[in-house]
Amino acid sequence: MIRSGRQLNLVAILGCIPVSLSIQMADTPLTWLLYVAVFFTFIEATPRTAFLRGVMIGSVTAVINFSWLFSSAGRFTGTGLLFGLLAIGGLALFFALYCGGIAWLYARLKCRGSSIRTGLVNATLIASLWVFLDGFMIYVAKSFALALFVTYVAVGDNIFALQPATVLGPLVITFVIVFVNAALAHILYYRLWRFVFFPPLFIAVYLGWGWLLLARFEQRQPTGSPPPFRAAIIAENINPEFKWAYGNTNSFAERMFLLNVQVAKAKANLAVWSESAIPWNYAPGDDFLNEIDKITGPSGVTHLTGINTDYRGSTFYNSVYCIKPGNTVAGRYDKRLALSLIEKPFCGMLLPFFNSTGFRVKEGITDQPLITGYGKAGIVLCNESSVPEPAYASVRAGATFLVNPGNDGWFTDSYIPKQHFFHARLRAIETRRDIILNSNLGYSGLVQASGRIVFREKTDQPYVETLLVRNHEGLTPAVAYPYLMLVIAALAFTTVLVYRYRTLNT
């Protein structure tokens, strides 16, 4: 029987393993059990003990999962390995206090007792609380996407587990995972073996709901919808250090010309470029774009091209241009959520990025999709796909499909590209829109509105892939009522607190 403080501390440290595997989206049998060991150590812990264990869990997990910064930070910022160490230390401190605070609060609010009813009440309490915590992480990720960890990433490879997000958004997945883990931890701690069937049964019912939602969507045949169009992903897959280095312009241009020849031969309707694919700022009559038009214009190809736009001095818009045959600009999208410390200052600080001249991004203000002639393209640029709101706002503004250009070249060897693709997949399900991804040195591909992956590729070789994309209309409940799950969680949390108060006073 595991009961001593030393034993429980060891279990807490070992519990960092399934948590880390879930962050890195390793598809293992531990996917649904990521928090069981952690919750096991909190069941009879005092608030002080719970806080200290939470600090230990948060710091160990952060060091494990952000160790990639040690090698990447030097290339990413040009500041050497010292910044990597400082970044890891800062994130470890943040997550130590974050997890410690969660553990302390849970220990203060939980009901005492070994009955299954107490276990389910406490599971509801922590699951409801965790919905708000993941909601907070989503808010933080609007500026610090690289530090994002939300519970629902753990089941990113399970298409049925993701489907309820079209109704209640991604936080419903968080509730289910945390509830199941907390309930199972209680059952194991108090050896309530006759109830051990409950967590897997709960998961089975939840997955059944997901299966029904998927089946219903795929069986629904839209009437009068236009036929699919052919979209070409232009995956240049160029090391960002090479592309942004002075003197490599001709080599870059030659590669892009060859890729666009393939686009023209594939008879694509729409060509999708990666984020900031062209390493200089847009100017009318740009010679490079004129050459691209000579190659693809006769085939009638419209381009969604990543290229920055001048704002003032060393401040630019991170833009995607809709360019039609004749090198005619039909619209422009500017990134709405710039990365703090990297693309915009945070507390007056800005890390060197791309160069040492103080590059920074001016955030755009419009949610309007780009009118391509083949549908309305809602753009979610790079890290904007990691949080729901940009995609939701684009769909509410009329987008009939989504496009996610990105550049994962700075951290291509980490788990970040896989998380990036998963978040885009979830946005497709939540909005019921096809989403095209083109991420330099990351995962590029196409996810259908159902969540089914038509194409996914991560390579360091350039290629062009042509895919059929469908337009969709209408608003899902998740898009129409984005805060519904938070309201449900608030009601559940309040109900548990009322139950606890009445229990303590009877």
pLDDT digits (tens, 9 = 90+) for 359-377: 788 999 999 999 999 999 9
What pLDDT, on a 0 to 100 scale, did the predictor assign at position 80? 57
Among 238-242, 384-388, 415-419, where is mean pLDDT lowest? 238-242
The strand ranges marked E within 313-398 are 315-317, 319-324, 328-334, 360-361, 370-371, 376-379
Instruction: Indicate the average pLDDT of the chain.
Output: 89
Return the pLDDT at 248.
72
| Tokens of residue 33, six digits | 């059990």
Which of the residue ranges 12-21, 80-89, 248-257 would you say has the lowest mean pLDDT?
Answer: 80-89
Q: Is the pLDDT of residue 356 over 50?
A: no
Rounded distance, CA 216 to CA 265, Å? Answer: 37
Distance of alpha carbon 30 from alpha carbon 19, whole angstroms: 9
Per-residue pLDDT reduced to its tens digit, 392-415:
999 999 999 999 999 988 788 888
Please name the helix (run of DSSP H) or strand (run of DSSP E) that holds residue 294, with its range, or none: helix 287-296
Neighbouring CB atoms inside 10 A of 254's CB total: 10
> Model confidence at 354, in pLDDT bands (50, 70, 90)?
very low
288: Cβ contacts below 8 Å, ≥ 6 apart: 253, 256, 278
pLDDT-above-90 percentage for the chain = 69
- Taken as a whole, the chain contains a residue count of 506
Measure the CA–CA gap between 190 and 184, rounded to whole angstroms. Answer: 10
pLDDT exceeds cutoff 60 at 28: yes
The answer, yes or no, to whether residue 496 has pLDDT greater than 50, is: yes
Q: Which amino acid, one-letter code, is at 250?
A: N
Residue 1, pLDDT above cutoff 80: no
Return the pLDDT at 355. Answer: 44
Residues in Cβ contact with 478 at an 8 Å cutoff, skipping those fewer than 6 apart: 165, 166, 167, 168, 169, 388, 392, 430, 431, 484
Short-list 397, 370, 391, CA closest to 302: 370
Q: What is the structure's pLDDT at 224?
A: 63
Cα torsion 70, 72, 75, 77 to 10°: value is -70
pLDDT higher than threshold 80 for residue 4: no
pLDDT at 459 over 70: yes
Q: What is the reported pLDDT for 193? A: 95
CA distance 150 to 189: 26
Q: 441 pLDDT exceeds 50? A: yes
Beta bridge partners of 454: none
- Among 158-167, 190-199, 224-233, 395-404, whose mean pLDDT is lowest? 224-233
Query: pLDDT (tens digit, 9 = 90+) per residue, 264-321?
Result: 999 999 999 999 999 889 999 999 999 999 999 999 999 999 999 999 888 999 999 9
pTM of the model: 0.93
Strand partners, 372: none
CATH of the domain spanning 229-309+318-333+368-472, picked from 3.40.50.410, 3.40.50.170, 3.60.110.10, 3.40.50.300: 3.60.110.10
